[in-house]
């Protein structure tokens, strides 16, 4: 099973042989959530004990998730409901990333933000002092197509933020499209572009990449992406933890977001096979993204540490 | 119909147009998905339906664009143009009508062309209606047009499936409106989805599993006012999990004039969504893909050089005509204005432009 590394870049199966070296060289573990910590609303086996063990060994834990439907606070609640203790400021969700992007770029507070996505984005925008329009409640709206009806949109919208939206509908597509095409300088921000994800434990579902591509299709514009693999969030992580990237390890289940994020940022990378990526997909000759290490799941740490 | 964002653009958007163009050209020649190399649908017949018999293959778009003249001239001698071709292909929105209102002088112009023995064909990217339903629209507007002369992208999708011998025991999942369903039915194909799936809801909770029909062999995506997550997931599952399942787009128009007062997010949006979740490129059957051009030139036995394409949108109508090797005439009665046409960022130049098609009558009169 192990891929023997004859060249420096080849990925290695995490084993009792290489694990101690990895463990000692990492001060902070960055975990993706969907497919690593949980699947839908179901905790993956052994995760709780693994995280406790890592903390007891003095490792910092950070959770970097592209799922924008929840705010940091709501994500923390989910952790608690699954029996894992985390603090809000250990969580970096793409909903938070979107609000921070606007903040660091001095987005004017008198401009509004139209949201195609979940409550999480609306909440993070509010916390950052911005006014969000749209979000879940526009899921109930429909458009009218009679000749004398004009579809109105707020001309003071200066940014459209698009994330995962299971309540996507034509009204939202049209609203976002009009803002981007007609409001001068309107920003088009994507929380992330994941094609699919484990929104439930039993199967994959279309991700934010779908809603974002819908808006790309109607506006013929490309978005600013704030979530993985963009390293925008890394700036905040570095500021908070004062740890060098080389002493961090990104643990994720997705090559084109988690592992690419880690590589772009200069961290070590570990792919777990408990989510969307299978071993055959990882080893497929067409796959160009090679993590430093791979393993079945996060709780493998328990066996490896006890070895 | 021209999407403003494309023409009134900075160079970045022009680049996007180029890549969109080559994407369309590439999409034409994309074989059905390689996930099933022995797919029954990957027949030679499919490929030949795109490569026109007889006529030379159009040059790759980039070369043709570089060779384009600086700016198209206004149409001066309508007679000349009319006499030089046998067939006129008209786009509908912005050329014949705007919303539900007929554009001035259209009936007389069409009558004049018919009296000169010209064949008239109407090609629209709008997939919401079937040919029959469009026939009714023409009738209510007082125009004398036969159903057989109308080619909507809804019809194109069904015709494409026919051209590749899509098996009758396979099903088609539709993310789109009634027009597509009607055309599939007429062509003898079984379908699922369409508007009624707009009422279906999903609940993302533990233990919930969405089933999908494993006999679906093609997903057809077009403009859909009842677009929702259920349909996106259903289409995505079919494309990702049913071996050899085709992904067909009726068209990729970014915006469309559903009402004459403003632009509305178009089929490009729904197609974009499915591209996003499947990470696959669709086979595009509507303009500017030349599928419909090849189809009707084969059906009516017309040489492409004997055709003039008349439309109001550069990136669909005019590109369609150019890709097909026809003459092209842009009318300014729709979404494209003269400044847009003449903008330095616009790289698509028709052979001629004029205000509206009834200029054929007035320009003609002036030369007598």
> How far, in Å, CA of B250 to CA of B194, rounded?
14
Question: For chain A, what is the radius of gyration of the CA atoms?
Answer: 20
Q: Which of B86, B147, B263, B281 is catalytic?
A: B86
Residue in A174, A200, A205 closest to B206 by CB: A200
A 50-79 near B (Cβ less than 8 A) = none
Give the closest-approach CA distance of A270 to chain B in angstroms. 24
Residue A194 known to bind ligand: no
> How far, in Å, CA of A304 to CA of B292, rounded?
62
A 117-146 near B (Cβ less than 8 A) = 143, 145-146
- Binary contact (B227, A170; C-beta < 8 A): yes
Q: Which of A181-195, B101-115, B273-287, B352-366 has the lowest mean pLDDT?
A: B352-366
A 160-189 near B (Cβ less than 8 A) = 165-170, 173-174, 177-178, 181
> Higher pLDDT residue, B180 or B68?
B180
For residue B206, the chain A residues in CB contact (below 8 A) are 40-42, 200-201
Question: What tens digit of pLDDT does each residue of B270-328 get?
Answer: 999 999 999 999 999 999 999 999 999 999 999 999 999 999 999 999 999 999 999 99
Q: Is residue A262 scored above 70 in pLDDT?
A: yes
Give the closest-approach CA distance of A124 to chain B in angstroms. 23
Would you place residue B26 in the very low, low, confident or very high pLDDT band (cuts 50, 70, 90)?
very low
Instruction: Tell me which of A140, A213, A217, A286 to substitute to probe the interface with B (most B C-beta atoms closer than 10 Å).
Output: A217
Residue A256 known to bind ligand: no
* Secondary structure string (H, E, C) spanning B155-201: HHHHHHHHHCCCCCCCEEEEECCHHHHHHHHHCCCEEEECHHHHHCC
For the entire predicted model, the pTM comes to 0.86
- Binary contact (A181, B236; C-beta < 8 A): no
Cis peptide bond prior to B288, omega within 30° of 0? yes
Question: What tens digit of pLDDT does each residue of A178-218 get?
Answer: 999 999 999 999 999 999 998 888 999 999 999 999 999 99
Average pLDDT score over residue span B229-254 = 97
Same fold, A12-66+229-306 and A107-225: yes
Q: Which two tokens stand for residue A290?
A: 């090679």
Residue in A203, A216, A220 closest to B6 by CB: A220
Average pLDDT score over residue span A250-258 = 97
Instruction: Tell me which of A167, A206, A222, A276 to substitute to probe the interface with B (most B C-beta atoms closer than 10 Å).
Output: A206
- Give exposure, A281-297, as e/b (b: 16+ Cβ within 10 Å): ebeeeeeebbbbbbbeb
Q: Which two tokens stand for residue B60?
A: 């790759």
| Active-site annotation of A, residues | 32, 34
> How far, in Å, CA of A297 to CA of A299, rounded?
6
> Higher pLDDT residue, A259 or A149?
A259
For residue A40, the chain B residues in CB contact (below 8 A) are 204-206
Locate tokens 């328990």: which residue? Answer: A302
Which pLDDT does position A146 carry in this prediction?
A: 73
Residue A244 known to bind ligand: no
The 3-state DSSP class for residue B276 equals helix
Q: What percent of chain A has pLDDT over 70?
A: 97
- Binary contact (B273, A211; C-beta < 8 A): yes
Q: Is residue A121 scored above 70 in pLDDT?
A: yes
**CATH dotted code for A107-225:** 3.40.50.1000
* Closest CA relative to residue B94, chosen from B284, B360, B357: B357
Residue in B17, B210, B252 closest to A217 by CB: B252
Give the closest-approach CA distance of B224 to chain A in angstroms. 8
CB-based contacts of B320: which residues, under 8 Å, 6+ apart? B123, B287, B288, B289, B290, B292, B293, B309, B311
Every domain of chain A and the residues it spans: 12-66+229-306, 107-225
* Secondary structure string (H, E, C) spanning A262-302: HHHHCCEEEEECCCCCCHHHHHCCCCCCCCCEEECCCCHHH
- Binary contact (A213, B266; C-beta < 8 A): no
Q: In what order do the strands lie in the sheet with B327-331?
A: B150-152, B119-124, B87-90, B307-311, B327-331, B352-354
Average pLDDT taken over every residue of chain B: 84
Phi, psi (5° rounding) for residue B100? -110, 15
Report whether CATH 3.40.630.10 matches the domain A12-66+229-306.
no
Whether B183 contacts B155, CB under 8 Å? yes
CA distances to A274, A288, A295, B44 from A271, in Å? 9, 14, 6, 42
Average pLDDT taken over every residue of chain A: 94
- Binary contact (A170, B279; C-beta < 8 A): no
Q: What percent of chain B has pLDDT over 90?
A: 73
C-alpha distance across the termini of chain A, in Å: 19
Q: Beta partners for A136?
A: none
ipTM of the shown complex: 0.92
Q: Is residue B368 scored above 60 in pLDDT?
A: no
Give the closest-approach CA distance of B233 to chain A in angstroms. 6
> How far, in Å, CA of B344 to CA of B339, rounded?
9
Q: In what order do the strands lie in the sheet with A60-65?
A: A12-13, A293-295, A268-272, A248-252, A28-31, A60-65, A91-93
Which pLDDT does position A6 carry in this prediction?
A: 41
Length of chain B: 368
Would you place residue B182 in the very low, low, confident or very high pLDDT band (cuts 50, 70, 90)?
very high
* Closest CA relative to residue B210, chosen from B187, B191, B227, B235: B235
Average pLDDT score over residue span B58-76 = 64
Which pLDDT does position B365 carry in this prediction?
A: 52
Average pLDDT score over residue span A69-86 = 96
The 3-state DSSP class for residue A37 equals coil
Q: Which two tokens stand for residue A170?
A: 């034509």
Which pLDDT does position B259 carry in this prediction?
A: 81
Q: Beta partners for A61?
A: A29
> How far, in Å, CA of A122 to CA of A304, rounded?
41
Q: Which of B13-17, B64-68, B151-155, B166-170 has the lowest mean pLDDT?
A: B13-17
Whether A49 contacts A270, CB under 8 Å? no
CB-based contacts of B205: which residues, under 8 Å, 6+ apart? A40, A41, A200
Give the closest-approach CA distance of B96 to chain A in angstroms. 17
- Binary contact (A166, B268; C-beta < 8 A): no
Q: Which of A171-175, A234-238, B252-256, B315-319 has the lowest mean pLDDT?
A: A234-238
Pairing state between β A293-295 and A268-272: parallel
Q: Is residue B30 scored above 90 in pLDDT?
A: no
Phi, psi (5° rounding) for residue A295? -155, 170
Whether A241 contacts A28, CB under 8 Å? yes
- Binary contact (A217, B16; C-beta < 8 A): no
Whether A13 contacts A3, CB under 8 Å? yes
Q: Is residue B54 scored above 80 in pLDDT?
A: no
Q: Which two tokens stand for residue B309?
A: 């394409």
- Crossing angle of helices B291-300 and B153-163, in 10° steps, is 70
Q: Is residue A27 scored above 80 in pLDDT?
A: yes
Residue A154 known to bind ligand: no
Average pLDDT score over residue span B119-138 = 95
> Higher pLDDT residue, A306 or B297?
B297
> How far, in Å, CA of A194 to CA of B293, rounded?
37
Which pLDDT does position B133 carry in this prediction?
A: 95
> How far, in Å, CA of A61 to CA of A240, rounded?
12
Q: Which two tokens stand for residue B138?
A: 């023409």
Q: Is residue A120 scored above 70 in pLDDT?
A: yes
- Binary contact (A40, B205; C-beta < 8 A): yes
Whether A191 contacts A100, CB under 8 Å? no
Would you place residue B70 in the very low, low, confident or very high pLDDT band (cuts 50, 70, 90)?
low
Residue in A149, A200, A217 closest to B272 by CB: A217
The 3-state DSSP class for residue B217 equals strand
Chain B contact for A206 (CB, 8 A cutoff): yes
* Closest CA relative to residue B270, chosen from B288, B250, B291: B250
* Closest CA relative to residue B138, chosen from B105, B109, B111, B102: B102
Which pLDDT does position B258 carry in this prediction?
A: 81
């Amino acid at each position: 099973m192990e891929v023997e590394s004859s060249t420096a870049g080849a990925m290695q199966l995490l084993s009792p042989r290489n694990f101690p070296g990895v463990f000692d060289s990492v001060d902070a573990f960055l975990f993706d959530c969907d497919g690593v910590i949980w699947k839908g609303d179901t905790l993956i086996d052994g995760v709780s004990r693994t995280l406790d063990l890592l903390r007891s060994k003095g490792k910092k834990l950070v959770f970097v998730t592209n799922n924008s439907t929840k705010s940091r606070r709501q994500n923390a609640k989910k952790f608690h409901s699954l029996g894992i203790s985390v603090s809000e400021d250990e969580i970096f969700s793409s909903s938070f990333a979107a609000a921070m992007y606007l903040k660091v770029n001095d987005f004017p507070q008198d401009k509004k933000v139209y949201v195609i996505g979940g409550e999480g984005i609306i909440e993070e925008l509010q916390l950052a002092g911005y006014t969000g329009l749209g979000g879940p409640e526009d899921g109930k709206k429909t458009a009218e197509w009679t000749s004398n009806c004009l579809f109105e949109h707020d001309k003071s919208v200066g940014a459209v933020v698009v994330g995962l939206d299971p309540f996507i509908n034509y009204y939202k597509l049209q609203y976002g499209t009009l803002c981007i095409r007609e409001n001068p300088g309107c920003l088009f921000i994507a929380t992330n572009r994941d094609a699919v994800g484990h929104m439930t434990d039993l199967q994959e579902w279309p991700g934010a990449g779908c809603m974002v591509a819908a808006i790309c299709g109607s506006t013929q514009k490309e978005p600013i992406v704030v979530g993985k693999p963009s390293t925008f969030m890394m700036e905040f992580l570095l500021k908070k933890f004062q740890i060098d990237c080389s002493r961090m390890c990104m643990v994720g289940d997705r090559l084109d977001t988690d592992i690419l994020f880690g590589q772009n940022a200069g961290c070590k990378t570990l792919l777990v096979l408990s989510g969307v990526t299978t071993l055959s997909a990882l080893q497929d000759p067409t796959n160009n993204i090679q993590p430093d290490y791979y393993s079945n799941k996060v709780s493998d740490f328990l066996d490896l540490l006890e070895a | 119909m021209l999407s403003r964002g494309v023409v009134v653009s900075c160079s970045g958007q022009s680049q996007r147009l180029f890549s969109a163009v080559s994407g369309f050209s590439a999409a034409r020649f994309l074989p059905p998905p390689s996930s099933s190399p022995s797919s029954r649908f990957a027949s030679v017949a499919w490929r030949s339906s795109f490569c026109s018999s007889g006529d030379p293959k159009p040059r790759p778009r980039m070369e043709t664009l570089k060779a384009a003249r600086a700016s198209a001239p206004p149409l001066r001698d309508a007679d000349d143009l009319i006499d030089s071709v046998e067939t006129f292909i008209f786009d509908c929105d912005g050329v014949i009508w705007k919303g539900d209102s007929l554009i001035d002088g259209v009936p007389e112009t069409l009558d004049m062309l018919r009296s000169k023995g010209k064949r008239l064909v109407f090609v629209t990217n709008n997939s919401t209606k079937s040919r029959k339903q469009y026939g009714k629209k023409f009738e209510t507007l007082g125009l004398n047009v036969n159903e057989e002369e109308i080619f909507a992208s809804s019809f194109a999708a069904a015709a494409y499936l026919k051209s590749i011998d899509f098996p009758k025991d396979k099903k088609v999942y539709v993310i789109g409106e009634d027009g597509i369903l009607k055309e599939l039915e007429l062509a003898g194909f079984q379908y699922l989805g369409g508007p009624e799936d707009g009422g279906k809801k999903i609940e993302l909770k533990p233990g919930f599993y969405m089933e999908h029909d494993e006999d679906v062999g093609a997903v057809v995506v077009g403009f859909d006012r009842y677009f929702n997550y259920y349909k996106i997931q259903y289409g995505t599952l079919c494309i990702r999990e049913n071996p050899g399942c085709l992904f067909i787009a009726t068209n990729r128009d970014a915006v469309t004039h559903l009402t004459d007062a403003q632009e509305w997010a178009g089929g490009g949006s729904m197609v974009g969504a499915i591209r996003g979740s499947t990470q696959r490129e669709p086979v595009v059957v509507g303009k500017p893909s030349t599928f419909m051009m090849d189809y009707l030139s084969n059906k009516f036995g017309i040489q492409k050089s004997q055709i003039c394409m008349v439309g109001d949108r550069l990136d669909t109508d005019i590109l369609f005509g150019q890709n097909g090797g026809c003459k092209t005439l842009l009318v300014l009665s729709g979404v494209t204005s003269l400044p847009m046409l003449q903008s330095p960022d616009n790289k698509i130049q028709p052979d001629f432009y004029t205000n509206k098609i009834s200029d054929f009558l007035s320009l003609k009169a002036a030369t007598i």
